[in-house]
């Protein structure tokens, strides 16, 4: 049964936004989704769809009218153009939430911390992100919590590691890894396959955003979404193979070779431009400490094998009858 005392407005219908929307619907919340196209696509029939421009404060104020909660799950269209495309999205959604006195819950990532020599990441770690994308994220985070401290808008954020799960394709453990593995081909990665690496299941991330939004004690700070215990990418691939019934094949470039090749590869693939700023993510231990979150909300991290099983099922469901089956 739908509850009508709250209105949850969600910006972004990628994997994170979809996970948030689906959970809110299960909880019986009123949900309005704002997209550039206004198309429903894969979204549940229960949600209201509104066409809107997240970069336009006048538009976001109107689209968020009546909201008690606003979720910013947006992402720029072009990964290599974060500095130009991301801040307007961030500021537009913030203005819409502030104008309607709604709580603002923002999806972030771990770029803000920058290289940290493999130490477990906590929410209190200094923000030493380097390069255009990482410094853009740092700038947006500072603006976000400055707005909270000033009383302009009530804010909380959730940070997650590399995503995987249904609807996730753009990720270190997304299509670049899973599609070749499931097709019996070799997955090629810019990474050290044998260092521990926390990965975030999309369902757990969506649940964390909803939990943080529902509890005023969460306001004014960032929270790390809970993850299953970190494993290496080789171990992750082995679990994928066991669930899918395939023998995983992996190839990885050494760090020095990757550093030399990236500038050349980026000439023909714009998405790779500037990737060297975050190259440490694939080559050093990348471990997320989510103890602060679990102390307040409990540990709802999905067991890794269970999460991988759901991920494999989703990837296989995307194969059309005309396409060869993924193993």
pLDDT tens digit sequence for 7-50? 999 999 999 999 999 999 999 999 999 998 888 888 999 999 99
Same domain? 184 vs 108:
no
Same domain? 21 vs 63:
yes
52 vs 262, which has greater pLDDT? 52
207 occurs within a structural domain: yes
Residues spanned by the domain of 247: 168-196+230-288+302-317
What the block records as the tokens of 123 is: 């929410």
258 vs 284, which has greater pLDDT? 284
Same domain? 107 vs 243:
no
pLDDT(320) > 50: no
Q: How far apart are CA 230 and CA 286, in angstroms?
A: 8
Same domain? 276 vs 311:
yes
195-227 per-residue burial string, b: 16 or more CB within 10 A, e: under 16? bbbbbbbbbbbbbbbbbbbbeeebeeebbbbbb
Distance of CA 35 to CAs 11, 45, 239, 291, Å? 7, 15, 36, 34
Same domain? 215 vs 283:
no
What pLDDT, on the 0 to 100 scale, is given for residue 271?
A: 64
Same domain? 137 vs 239:
no
Domain count within the chain: 2
323 occurs within a structural domain: no
264 vs 305, which has greater pLDDT? 305
What pLDDT, on the 0 to 100 scale, is given for residue 325?
A: 39
Mean pLDDT is lowest, of 118-132, 145-159, 273-287, for 273-287
Instruction: Spell out the residues 6+ positions from residue 254 whose beta carbon is closer than 8 angstroms to its own.
Output: none
pLDDT(65) > 80: yes
What pLDDT, on the 0 to 100 scale, is given for residue 77?
A: 82
pLDDT(3) > 70: no
pLDDT above 70 covers a percentage of the chain that reads 92
Same domain? 41 vs 144:
yes
CATH number at residue 152: 3.40.50.720
Same domain? 121 vs 262:
no
Average pLDDT over residues 61-84: 93
pLDDT above 90 covers a percentage of the chain that reads 81
326 occurs within a structural domain: no
- Report pLDDT digits (tens) over 217-254: 999 999 999 999 999 999 999 999 999 999 999 999 88
């Amino acid at each position: 049964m739908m509850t009508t005392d709250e209105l949850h407005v969600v910006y972004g219908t990628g994997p994170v936004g979809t996970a948030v929307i689906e959970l809110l619907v299960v909880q019986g919340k009123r949900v309005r989704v704002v997209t550039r196209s206004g198309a429903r696509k894969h979204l549940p029939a229960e949600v209201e769809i509104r066409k809107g421009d997240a970069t336009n404060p006048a538009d976001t104020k109107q689209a968020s009218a009546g909201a008690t909660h606003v979720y910013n799950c947006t992402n720029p269209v072009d990964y290599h153009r974060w500095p130009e495309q991301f801040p307007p999205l961030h500021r537009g959604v913030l203005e819409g939430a502030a104008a309607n006195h709604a709580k603002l819950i923002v999806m972030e990532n771990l770029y803000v911390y920058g290289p940290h020599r493999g130490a477990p990441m906590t929410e209190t770690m200094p923000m030493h992100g380097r390069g255009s994308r990482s410094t853009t994220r740092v700038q947006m985070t500072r603006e976000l919590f400055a707005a909270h401290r000033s009383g302009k808008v009530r804010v909380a954020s959730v940070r997650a590691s590399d995503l995987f799960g249904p609807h996730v394709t753009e990720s270190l453990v997304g299509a670049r890894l899973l599609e070749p593995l499931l097709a019996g081909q070799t997955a090629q990665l810019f990474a050290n396959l044998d260092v521990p690496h926390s990965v975030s299941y999309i369902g757990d991330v969506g649940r964390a955003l909803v939990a943080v939004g529902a509890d005023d004690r969460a306001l004014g700070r960032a929270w790390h979404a809970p993850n299953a215990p970190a494993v290496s990418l080789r171990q992750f691939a082995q679990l994928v193979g066991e669930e899918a019934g395939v023998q995983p094949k992996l190839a990885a470039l050494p760090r020095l070779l990757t550093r030399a090749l990236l500038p050349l590869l980026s000439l023909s693939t714009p998405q790779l431009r500037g990737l060297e700023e975050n190259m440490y993510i694939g080559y050093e231990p990348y471990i997320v400490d989510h103890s602060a979150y679990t102390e307040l909300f409990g540990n709802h991290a999905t067991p890794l094998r269970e999460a991988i099983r759901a991920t494999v099922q989703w990837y296989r469901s995307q194969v059309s009858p005309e396409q060869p089956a993924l193993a």
